[in-house]
Chain A
Protein backbone atom coordinates (compact mmCIF):
# COMPACT_ATOMS: atom_id res chain seq x y z
CA UNK A 1 0.00 0.00 0.00
CA UNK A 2 1.25 3.45 -0.85
CA UNK A 3 1.49 5.76 2.17
CA UNK A 4 0.84 9.51 2.17
CA UNK A 5 4.08 9.85 4.12
CA UNK A 6 6.97 9.84 1.61
CA UNK A 7 9.32 8.58 4.32
CA UNK A 8 7.24 5.42 4.65
CA UNK A 9 7.35 4.87 0.90
CA UNK A 10 11.14 5.01 1.03
CA UNK A 11 11.36 2.19 3.56
CA UNK A 12 12.69 -1.13 2.24
CA UNK A 13 10.06 -3.85 1.84
CA UNK A 14 9.82 -6.22 4.76
CA UNK A 15 10.88 -9.83 4.36
CA UNK A 16 8.02 -12.35 4.44
CA UNK A 17 10.23 -15.16 5.65
CA UNK A 18 9.34 -16.77 8.95
CA UNK A 19 12.27 -16.56 11.36
CA UNK A 20 12.87 -16.91 15.09
CA UNK A 21 12.35 -13.95 17.40
CA UNK A 22 15.47 -11.83 17.77
CA UNK A 23 16.54 -11.31 21.41
CA UNK A 24 16.38 -7.75 22.76
CA UNK A 25 19.43 -5.79 21.79
CA UNK A 26 19.17 -2.92 24.23
CA UNK A 27 21.80 -0.39 25.17
CA UNK A 28 22.41 0.47 28.83
CA UNK A 29 20.81 3.46 30.53
CA UNK A 30 22.30 6.73 31.76
CA UNK A 31 20.72 9.27 34.11
CA UNK A 32 20.47 12.85 32.89
CA UNK A 33 20.62 15.90 35.17
CA UNK A 34 19.85 19.42 33.96
CA UNK A 35 20.66 22.87 35.31
CA UNK A 36 18.00 25.26 33.98
CA UNK A 37 19.73 28.49 35.04
CA UNK A 38 22.95 29.64 36.66
CA UNK A 39 22.64 29.36 40.46
CA UNK A 40 19.78 26.86 40.20
CA UNK A 41 20.52 23.32 41.39
CA UNK A 42 20.83 20.46 38.91
CA UNK A 43 17.82 18.20 38.85
CA UNK A 44 17.15 14.76 37.44
CA UNK A 45 15.33 14.97 34.09
CA UNK A 46 15.27 11.42 32.80
CA UNK A 47 17.13 8.59 31.17
CA UNK A 48 18.81 7.95 27.82
CA UNK A 49 20.00 4.72 26.25
CA UNK A 50 23.60 4.83 25.06
CA UNK A 51 26.60 2.62 24.45
CA UNK A 52 28.88 4.72 26.70
CA UNK A 53 28.86 7.81 28.86
CA UNK A 54 30.16 10.13 26.13
CA UNK A 55 27.37 9.18 23.72
CA UNK A 56 24.91 9.47 26.61
CA UNK A 57 26.01 13.08 27.11
CA UNK A 58 25.57 13.82 23.39
CA UNK A 59 22.10 12.24 23.19
CA UNK A 60 20.97 13.73 26.52
CA UNK A 61 21.51 17.24 25.20
CA UNK A 62 18.83 17.00 22.52
CA UNK A 63 16.56 14.57 24.34
CA UNK A 64 16.14 16.76 27.43
CA UNK A 65 17.22 20.30 26.57
CA UNK A 66 15.59 20.93 23.21
CA UNK A 67 13.09 23.50 24.44
CA UNK A 68 13.40 24.78 27.98
CA UNK A 69 16.25 26.96 29.20
CA UNK A 70 19.42 25.13 30.11
CA UNK A 71 22.96 26.18 30.96
CA UNK A 72 24.54 22.82 31.75
CA UNK A 73 23.85 19.10 32.00
CA UNK A 74 25.60 16.02 33.34
CA UNK A 75 25.12 12.29 32.90
CA UNK A 76 26.06 9.18 34.84
CA UNK A 77 25.62 5.45 34.38
CA UNK A 78 22.39 4.27 36.06
CA UNK A 79 24.49 1.65 37.89
CA UNK A 80 26.46 4.46 39.56
CA UNK A 81 23.38 5.93 41.25
CA UNK A 82 22.97 4.62 44.81
CA UNK A 83 19.44 4.93 46.18
CA UNK A 84 17.98 4.88 49.68
CA UNK A 85 14.60 3.47 50.62
CA UNK A 86 11.58 5.33 49.22
CA UNK A 87 9.34 6.74 51.98
CA UNK A 88 6.13 8.75 52.22
CA UNK A 89 4.03 10.79 54.64
CA UNK A 90 6.23 12.02 57.48
CA UNK A 91 8.85 9.28 57.24
CA UNK A 92 12.27 10.64 56.37
CA UNK A 93 14.29 8.34 54.08
CA UNK A 94 17.41 9.39 55.99
CA UNK A 95 15.96 7.76 59.13
CA UNK A 96 15.79 4.40 57.33
CA UNK A 97 19.54 4.23 56.64
CA UNK A 98 21.26 1.23 58.23
CA UNK A 99 23.99 1.96 60.79
CA UNK A 100 27.47 2.35 59.37
CA UNK A 101 30.93 1.98 60.88
CA UNK A 102 33.52 3.97 58.99
CA UNK A 103 36.81 2.28 58.21
CA UNK A 104 39.76 4.63 58.64
CA UNK A 105 41.67 2.92 55.82
CA UNK A 106 39.03 3.68 53.19
CA UNK A 107 39.77 6.17 50.43
CA UNK A 108 37.64 9.31 50.57
CA UNK A 109 35.85 10.55 47.45
CA UNK A 110 33.41 13.33 46.58
CA UNK A 111 29.76 12.33 46.32
CA UNK A 112 26.82 14.36 45.07
CA UNK A 113 23.68 13.96 47.17
CA UNK A 114 20.20 14.34 45.67
CA UNK A 115 16.90 14.70 47.56
CA UNK A 116 13.38 13.83 46.52
CA UNK A 117 11.26 16.33 48.46
CA UNK A 118 7.91 15.65 46.80
CA UNK A 119 6.69 12.32 45.47
CA UNK A 120 6.24 12.47 41.71
CA UNK A 121 8.75 15.31 41.33
CA UNK A 122 12.40 15.12 40.34
CA UNK A 123 15.43 14.51 42.51
CA UNK A 124 17.26 17.79 43.12
CA UNK A 125 20.92 18.27 43.95
CA UNK A 126 21.23 19.01 47.69
CA UNK A 127 25.01 19.26 47.96
CA UNK A 128 28.36 17.56 47.98
CA UNK A 129 29.96 15.41 50.70
CA UNK A 130 33.20 13.49 51.11
CA UNK A 131 32.90 9.83 52.01
CA UNK A 132 34.38 6.41 51.37
CA UNK A 133 31.15 4.60 50.43
CA UNK A 134 27.70 5.62 49.15
CA UNK A 135 26.21 4.69 52.50
CA UNK A 136 28.62 6.89 54.38
CA UNK A 137 27.91 9.66 51.86
CA UNK A 138 24.18 9.44 52.66
CA UNK A 139 24.89 9.59 56.40
CA UNK A 140 26.97 12.72 55.84
CA UNK A 141 24.07 14.12 53.85
CA UNK A 142 21.79 13.38 56.75
CA UNK A 143 24.07 15.40 59.05
CA UNK A 144 24.78 18.32 56.76
CA UNK A 145 22.28 18.72 53.94
CA UNK A 146 18.82 18.57 55.52
CA UNK A 147 16.65 21.62 56.06
CA UNK A 148 13.87 20.18 58.21
CA UNK A 149 11.52 18.88 55.51
CA UNK A 150 11.29 15.09 55.20
CA UNK A 151 13.29 13.65 52.34
CA UNK A 152 11.48 10.78 50.60
CA UNK A 153 14.43 9.38 48.70
CA UNK A 154 18.18 10.01 48.72
CA UNK A 155 20.57 9.44 45.83
CA UNK A 156 24.36 9.39 46.14
CA UNK A 157 26.63 9.54 43.07
CA UNK A 158 30.44 9.47 43.05
CA UNK A 159 31.58 12.69 41.37
CA UNK A 160 34.24 10.77 39.44
CA UNK A 161 31.45 8.75 37.73
CA UNK A 162 29.89 11.87 36.23
CA UNK A 163 30.37 13.29 32.73
CA UNK A 164 30.04 17.06 33.29
CA UNK A 165 29.55 19.81 30.73
CA UNK A 166 32.98 21.31 30.09
CA UNK A 167 33.33 25.13 30.24
CA UNK A 168 33.90 25.29 26.46
CA UNK A 169 30.65 23.36 25.95
CA UNK A 170 28.42 25.93 27.69
CA UNK A 171 28.02 27.53 24.23
CA UNK A 172 25.92 24.53 23.14
CA UNK A 173 22.78 26.11 24.61
CA UNK A 174 23.48 29.68 23.49
CA UNK A 175 20.87 29.88 20.73
CA UNK A 176 18.23 27.92 22.67
CA UNK A 177 16.20 31.01 23.68
CA UNK A 178 15.99 31.98 19.97
CA UNK A 179 14.64 28.63 18.86
CA UNK A 180 11.04 29.67 19.32
CA UNK A 181 10.04 27.56 16.34
CA UNK A 182 10.48 24.54 18.59
CA UNK A 183 7.60 25.77 20.76
CA UNK A 184 4.10 25.01 19.53
CA UNK A 185 2.95 28.29 21.13
CA UNK A 186 5.14 30.28 18.74
CA UNK A 187 2.89 29.29 15.84
CA UNK A 188 -0.09 30.95 17.56
CA UNK A 189 -2.32 28.29 16.06
CA UNK A 190 -5.20 29.13 18.42
CA UNK A 191 -5.28 32.79 17.28
CA UNK A 192 -5.16 31.76 13.65
CA UNK A 193 -7.96 29.26 14.12
CA UNK A 194 -10.15 31.86 15.88
CA UNK A 195 -9.55 34.30 13.05
CA UNK A 196 -10.26 31.68 10.43
CA UNK A 197 -13.50 30.58 12.08
CA UNK A 198 -14.67 34.21 12.46
CA UNK A 199 -13.95 34.75 8.79
CA UNK A 200 -15.84 31.62 7.83
CA UNK A 201 -18.80 32.72 9.93
CA UNK A 202 -18.91 36.07 8.13
CA UNK A 203 -18.75 34.33 4.79
CA UNK A 204 -21.66 32.05 5.67
CA UNK A 205 -23.72 34.97 6.95
Chain B
Protein backbone atom coordinates (compact mmCIF):
# COMPACT_ATOMS: atom_id res chain seq x y z
CA UNK B 1 0.00 0.00 0.00
CA UNK B 2 2.75 2.37 1.10
CA UNK B 3 4.81 1.64 -1.99
CA UNK B 4 1.82 1.88 -4.33
CA UNK B 5 1.10 5.34 -2.96
CA UNK B 6 4.73 6.43 -3.39
CA UNK B 7 4.87 5.13 -6.95
CA UNK B 8 1.67 6.91 -7.85
CA UNK B 9 3.13 10.16 -6.51
CA UNK B 10 6.39 9.71 -8.45
CA UNK B 11 4.63 8.76 -11.68
CA UNK B 12 2.41 11.81 -11.77
CA UNK B 13 5.26 14.23 -11.07
CA UNK B 14 7.52 12.54 -13.64
CA UNK B 15 4.80 12.36 -16.30
CA UNK B 16 4.00 16.06 -15.85
CA UNK B 17 7.68 16.92 -16.37
CA UNK B 18 8.14 14.67 -19.39
CA UNK B 19 5.01 15.77 -21.23
CA UNK B 20 5.46 19.49 -20.58
CA UNK B 21 9.17 19.18 -21.34
CA UNK B 22 8.30 17.65 -24.70
CA UNK B 23 5.57 20.21 -25.39
CA UNK B 24 7.85 23.14 -24.60
CA UNK B 25 10.59 21.67 -26.78
CA UNK B 26 8.23 22.06 -29.74
CA UNK B 27 9.13 25.78 -29.55
CA UNK B 28 12.80 25.06 -30.29
CA UNK B 29 13.74 27.03 -33.37
CA UNK B 30 10.45 28.93 -33.35
CA UNK B 31 10.69 31.09 -30.22
CA UNK B 32 9.75 34.77 -30.38
CA UNK B 33 13.40 35.85 -30.18
CA UNK B 34 16.63 33.90 -30.25
CA UNK B 35 17.51 34.39 -26.56
CA UNK B 36 14.03 33.36 -25.46
CA UNK B 37 14.10 30.36 -27.78
CA UNK B 38 17.31 29.20 -26.09
CA UNK B 39 15.98 29.80 -22.58
CA UNK B 40 12.66 28.07 -23.22
CA UNK B 41 14.37 25.10 -24.88
CA UNK B 42 16.83 24.82 -22.02
CA UNK B 43 14.02 24.72 -19.49
CA UNK B 44 12.27 22.06 -21.57
CA UNK B 45 15.47 20.04 -21.44
CA UNK B 46 15.62 20.53 -17.64
CA UNK B 47 12.11 19.13 -17.35
CA UNK B 48 12.89 16.03 -19.36
CA UNK B 49 16.02 15.60 -17.23
CA UNK B 50 13.95 15.90 -14.05
CA UNK B 51 11.47 13.30 -15.32
CA UNK B 52 14.39 10.98 -16.07
CA UNK B 53 15.63 11.34 -12.48
CA UNK B 54 12.15 10.42 -11.20
CA UNK B 55 11.80 7.45 -13.58
CA UNK B 56 15.15 6.24 -12.23
CA UNK B 57 13.72 6.35 -8.69
CA UNK B 58 10.74 4.34 -9.95
CA UNK B 59 13.11 1.88 -11.60
CA UNK B 60 14.84 1.39 -8.24
CA UNK B 61 11.41 0.62 -6.79
CA UNK B 62 10.92 -2.18 -9.33
CA UNK B 63 9.34 -0.36 -12.26
CA UNK B 64 10.67 -0.79 -15.80
CA UNK B 65 13.62 1.06 -17.34
CA UNK B 66 13.16 4.85 -17.73
CA UNK B 67 13.15 4.65 -21.55
CA UNK B 68 10.55 1.88 -21.56
CA UNK B 69 8.35 3.79 -19.14
CA UNK B 70 8.71 7.04 -21.10
CA UNK B 71 8.30 5.70 -24.63
CA UNK B 72 6.25 2.51 -24.50
CA UNK B 73 3.12 3.47 -22.57
CA UNK B 74 -0.05 4.67 -24.23
CA UNK B 75 -2.02 7.76 -23.19
CA UNK B 76 -4.28 5.94 -20.71
CA UNK B 77 -1.20 4.82 -18.77
CA UNK B 78 0.05 8.38 -18.24
CA UNK B 79 -0.67 10.20 -14.97
CA UNK B 80 0.08 13.76 -16.05
CA UNK B 81 -2.51 16.48 -15.57
CA UNK B 82 -4.26 17.62 -18.75
CA UNK B 83 -2.75 21.11 -18.51
CA UNK B 84 0.66 19.89 -19.68
CA UNK B 85 -0.61 17.98 -22.73
CA UNK B 86 -2.61 20.83 -24.29
CA UNK B 87 -1.14 22.11 -27.58
CA UNK B 88 1.25 25.06 -27.33
CA UNK B 89 -1.08 27.47 -29.08
CA UNK B 90 0.54 30.87 -29.42
CA UNK B 91 3.33 32.06 -27.15
CA UNK B 92 0.95 33.73 -24.71
CA UNK B 93 -0.65 30.39 -23.85
CA UNK B 94 2.71 28.64 -23.52
CA UNK B 95 3.94 31.39 -21.20
CA UNK B 96 0.83 31.32 -19.02
CA UNK B 97 1.03 27.54 -18.73
CA UNK B 98 4.75 27.81 -17.92
CA UNK B 99 3.95 30.32 -15.17
CA UNK B 100 1.03 28.36 -13.67
CA UNK B 101 2.75 24.99 -13.84
CA UNK B 102 6.22 26.03 -12.73
CA UNK B 103 4.90 28.04 -9.80
CA UNK B 104 3.25 24.81 -8.59
CA UNK B 105 6.30 22.71 -9.42
CA UNK B 106 8.66 24.94 -7.42
CA UNK B 107 6.39 24.75 -4.36
CA UNK B 108 5.92 20.99 -4.85
CA UNK B 109 9.65 20.31 -4.81
CA UNK B 110 10.17 22.71 -1.94
CA UNK B 111 7.67 20.61 0.05
CA UNK B 112 9.29 17.42 -1.26
CA UNK B 113 12.66 18.50 0.12
CA UNK B 114 11.11 17.45 3.47
CA UNK B 115 9.92 14.08 2.12
CA UNK B 116 10.40 11.01 4.32
CA UNK B 117 11.47 9.19 1.15
CA UNK B 118 15.09 10.30 1.21
CA UNK B 119 15.97 9.85 -2.50
CA UNK B 120 13.09 12.15 -3.38
CA UNK B 121 14.10 14.74 -0.76
CA UNK B 122 17.66 14.63 -2.13
CA UNK B 123 16.46 15.13 -5.70
CA UNK B 124 14.28 18.06 -4.63
CA UNK B 125 17.27 19.77 -3.01
CA UNK B 126 19.46 19.06 -6.02
CA UNK B 127 17.15 20.63 -8.63
CA UNK B 128 16.19 23.66 -6.53
CA UNK B 129 18.29 25.98 -8.72
CA UNK B 130 16.70 24.76 -11.94
CA UNK B 131 13.21 25.34 -10.57
CA UNK B 132 14.21 28.74 -9.21
CA UNK B 133 15.34 29.73 -12.69
CA UNK B 134 12.10 28.49 -14.23
CA UNK B 135 9.99 30.62 -11.87
CA UNK B 136 12.32 33.62 -12.25
CA UNK B 137 11.90 33.35 -16.01
CA UNK B 138 8.12 32.92 -15.85
CA UNK B 139 7.59 35.68 -13.29
CA UNK B 140 9.79 38.15 -15.16
CA UNK B 141 7.94 37.65 -18.44
CA UNK B 142 4.43 37.60 -16.96
CA UNK B 143 5.14 40.76 -14.95
CA UNK B 144 6.52 42.47 -18.03
CA UNK B 145 3.94 41.37 -20.61
CA UNK B 146 1.09 41.54 -18.09
CA UNK B 147 1.62 45.31 -17.89
CA UNK B 148 3.04 46.16 -21.32
CA UNK B 149 0.50 46.85 -24.08
CA UNK B 150 -3.25 46.29 -24.52
CA UNK B 151 -2.40 43.44 -26.90
CA UNK B 152 0.01 41.66 -24.55
CA UNK B 153 -2.33 42.08 -21.57
CA UNK B 154 -5.36 40.95 -23.57
CA UNK B 155 -3.56 37.90 -24.93
CA UNK B 156 -2.31 36.83 -21.52
CA UNK B 157 -5.74 37.39 -19.98
CA UNK B 158 -7.40 35.26 -22.63
CA UNK B 159 -4.88 32.45 -22.19
CA UNK B 160 -5.12 32.67 -18.42
CA UNK B 161 -8.89 32.26 -18.56
CA UNK B 162 -8.51 29.16 -20.75
CA UNK B 163 -5.69 27.63 -18.71
CA UNK B 164 -7.01 28.12 -15.17
CA UNK B 165 -9.51 25.20 -15.00
CA UNK B 166 -6.76 22.90 -16.31
CA UNK B 167 -4.25 24.38 -13.89
CA UNK B 168 -6.47 23.43 -10.96
CA UNK B 169 -6.30 19.90 -12.41
CA UNK B 170 -2.64 19.82 -11.27
CA UNK B 171 -4.00 19.34 -7.74
CA UNK B 172 -6.44 16.50 -8.48
CA UNK B 173 -6.37 14.45 -5.27
CA UNK B 174 -4.78 11.03 -5.40
CA UNK B 175 -6.72 7.97 -4.19
CA UNK B 176 -3.73 7.52 -1.85
CA UNK B 177 -3.72 11.12 -0.61
CA UNK B 178 -4.12 10.27 3.10
CA UNK B 179 -1.49 7.55 2.91
CA UNK B 180 0.95 9.85 1.07
CA UNK B 181 0.54 12.50 3.78
CA UNK B 182 0.56 10.03 6.71
CA UNK B 183 3.77 8.43 5.46
CA UNK B 184 5.36 11.85 5.13
CA UNK B 185 6.11 11.36 1.41
CA UNK B 186 4.48 14.67 0.52
CA UNK B 187 2.41 17.38 2.23
CA UNK B 188 -0.50 16.68 -0.16
CA UNK B 189 -2.22 18.31 -3.11
CA UNK B 190 -4.54 20.47 -0.98
CA UNK B 191 -1.61 22.08 0.83
CA UNK B 192 0.18 22.59 -2.49
CA UNK B 193 -2.88 24.21 -4.06
CA UNK B 194 -3.28 26.55 -1.06
CA UNK B 195 0.31 27.79 -1.33
CA UNK B 196 0.07 27.99 -5.13
CA UNK B 197 -2.99 30.24 -5.08
CA UNK B 198 -1.16 32.68 -2.79
CA UNK B 199 1.82 32.84 -5.14
CA UNK B 200 -0.27 33.18 -8.31
CA UNK B 201 -2.41 35.92 -6.75
CA UNK B 202 0.67 37.80 -5.52
CA UNK B 203 2.30 37.78 -8.94
CA UNK B 204 -0.85 38.72 -10.85
CA UNK B 205 -1.34 41.63 -8.44
CA UNK B 206 1.86 43.11 -9.93
CA UNK B 207 0.29 43.10 -13.42
CA UNK B 208 -2.80 44.53 -15.09
CA UNK B 209 -4.34 41.07 -15.38
CA UNK B 210 -7.62 40.62 -13.53
CA UNK B 211 -7.50 39.11 -10.03
CA UNK B 212 -8.80 35.54 -10.14
CA UNK B 213 -12.18 34.78 -8.62
CA UNK B 214 -11.23 31.26 -7.49
CA UNK B 215 -14.71 29.97 -6.52
CA UNK B 216 -15.84 30.49 -10.13
CA UNK B 217 -13.02 28.39 -11.62
CA UNK B 218 -14.06 24.77 -12.02
CA UNK B 219 -11.15 22.32 -11.95
CA UNK B 220 -10.76 19.88 -14.85
CA UNK B 221 -9.74 16.53 -13.38
CA UNK B 222 -9.05 13.14 -14.91
CA UNK B 223 -5.43 13.32 -16.04
CA UNK B 224 -4.07 11.71 -12.88
CA UNK B 225 -6.42 8.83 -13.56
CA UNK B 226 -5.41 8.25 -17.18
CA UNK B 227 -8.22 10.29 -18.72
CA UNK B 228 -6.68 12.59 -21.27
CA UNK B 229 -7.58 15.00 -24.02
CA UNK B 230 -7.26 14.00 -27.67
CA UNK B 231 -3.91 15.84 -27.71
CA UNK B 232 -1.83 13.42 -25.61
CA UNK B 233 -1.67 10.36 -27.86
CA UNK B 234 -0.37 12.27 -30.93
CA UNK B 235 2.30 13.82 -28.68
CA UNK B 236 3.35 10.36 -27.45
CA UNK B 237 3.40 8.98 -31.00
CA UNK B 238 5.68 11.78 -32.11
CA UNK B 239 7.90 11.59 -29.02
CA UNK B 240 8.44 7.83 -29.30
CA UNK B 241 8.59 7.61 -33.09
CA UNK B 242 12.37 7.22 -33.32
CA UNK B 243 12.70 5.08 -30.19
CA UNK B 244 10.14 2.59 -31.49
CA UNK B 245 12.05 2.02 -34.74
CA UNK B 246 14.59 0.12 -32.66
CA UNK B 247 13.95 0.07 -28.89
CA UNK B 248 17.25 -1.74 -28.27
CA UNK B 249 19.38 0.86 -30.12
CA UNK B 250 22.16 2.42 -28.08
CA UNK B 251 22.13 6.24 -27.97
Contacts and interface: CB of A to CB of B under 8 A. Distances in A.
Interface of A: 6-7, 10-11, 27, 48-52, 54-55, 58-63, 66, 169, 171-175, 179, 181-182, 187, 192
Interface in B1-58: 26, 28-30, 33-36, 38-39, 42-43, 45, 49
Interface in B115-132: 126-130, 132
Contacts of A171: 128-129, 132
Contact of A55 (B132, B144, B238): B144
Contact of A181 (B35, B49, B250): B49
Contact of A59 (B39, B45, B128, B238): B39
Q: How large is the interface on B (under 10, 10 to 19, 20 to 34, 35 or more residues)?
A: 20 to 34
Contacts of B26: 6-7, 10
B214 interface: no
B202 interface: no
Given A49-B33, A54-B144, A175-B130, 9 more contacts: A7-B30, A11-B30, A48-B35, A58-B140, A59-B39, A66-B42, A169-B132, A172-B132, A182-B45
Given A52-B144, A171-B132, A59 B49 contact: no
A195 to B, nearest CB: 9
A12 to B, nearest CB: 9
Contacts of A179: 49
A115 to B, nearest CB: 27
A7 B36 CA distance: 17
Nearest to B137: A58
B36 A59 contact: yes
B35 to A, nearest CB: 4
Contacts of A59: 35-36, 38-39
B141 interface: yes
A121 B33 CA distance: 27
